Each structure stands twice: as structure tokens, then as C-alpha cells.
Homo-oligomer: A and B are copies of this chain.
């Protein structure tokens, strides 16, 4: 059947495409020659923030995916279906990120809806990776009250996990992890 290496390579391909497509959602502002491009670019700051948070989140998911696959000995059918299910949710992150970029500044109900969608997609991924469920659930709830705060929580969580992974990896490396 499918070997572990093939499954990892396929999953890595999906992660690489998803993380790159995030940047594709940065729309070039549609300004004429008499309007200011600089202020139009500046007005897009929610899109840049969403890009930053989305990139970090997918980067951390990719690291988690590798951590999980470290423990995989053989690929069976259940793993294939679970992995496909996981990738299906990972591939939704750019869509959710784009909705946040479009509507965060709307304020009111739409900003809450956008952040709840984003938090919900990240929560669905967190369920699959089994990390930070409580924090993602909290961010989902916060989305309905203070959308900006929910985005900040996601940024902090992504940074936390990125540095957490970094520490784990550095320690493993320092303790003489077996060569690949």
C-alpha cells in the first residue's frame, strides 16, 4: 500500500501549497492614478495581520503533523482516511483567513462571524492534532464578543507553539537525537 514516505510527501505538498496560497489572498488594491496607493495598501492591514497569523498557524500544523508522523510505524487505512480528513480542514485555512481579512474592519456582527469561522476552522484542526483545545475553544467564544482579541489570541497561540516546538526540537537535538 501507500508507504509512510509517500503519505508524508503528499501531505507536505498540500501544506506547502496551502501556506503559499495564503499570500495569494492579499489582493492588490484597485486604485486609480489619482487615489493614493500608499493609503490603499495601509487600509489592508487586517489582511496582512491575517496572513501573518494564518502563516504561523499552518506552519505550526505542519510541525505538529511531523511530530505525529514520528510515532507512525505503518500506514494503514484508518490513518489514510484520518490524514485526508485532516488535510481537508488544513486546506480551509486560507478561505477562513480571507474572510477575516475582508470583514474584520466591518465591526459588529460580520467581524464576529468572520472571526468565529476562522476560530472554528482552527479548532477543527486543533481537535485533530489534540493540542490547545481549550485555548482554541476560548478563542471561538471570544470571537463573538471581541473579534480583535480573538485574533490576538490566535497570534499568541501560534507564536507560543512555534517557540514551544523550537524548544522541544532544540532539546532533542542537544540530547543527541538519532540521525535521520
Question: Do B8 and A91 touch across chains, with their CB atoms under 8 A apart?
Answer: no
Q: How far is the CA of A172 from the CA of B114 in the complex (A)?
A: 44
Q: Which of B17, B67, B169 contacts A75 (CB 8 A)?
A: B169
CB within 8 Å for A76 and B169 given contacts A21-B20, A88-B55: yes
* Shortest distance between the CB of A13 and any CB in chain B (Å): 3
Known: A41-B113, A41-B117. A167 touches B77 (CB 8 A): yes
- Measured between C-beta atoms, what is the minimum distance from A2 to chain B in Å? 5
CA distance A6 to B63 in the complex (A): 11
| A33-92, CB < 8 A from B | 33, 36-38, 41, 52, 55-56, 59, 62-63, 66-67, 70, 74-78, 80-81, 84, 87-88, 91-92
Can you list 20 A-B contacts (CB < 8 A)?
Answer: A1-B169, A2-B66, A5-B180, A6-B12, A10-B12, A10-B15, A12-B13, A14-B20, A28-B99, A28-B102, A33-B108, A37-B110, A37-B114, A38-B110, A63-B80, A75-B169, A76-B166, A77-B169, A80-B166, A81-B163
Contact with B along A149-177 (1 / 0, CB 8 A): 00000000000001101111110110001
For chain A, what secondary structure do more than half of its interface residues adopt (helix, strand, loop), or is it mixed? helix
Q: A141 to B40: give the CA distance in the assembly, Å.
A: 21
Residue picked from A8, A87, A92, A169, most chain B C-beta under 10 Å: A169
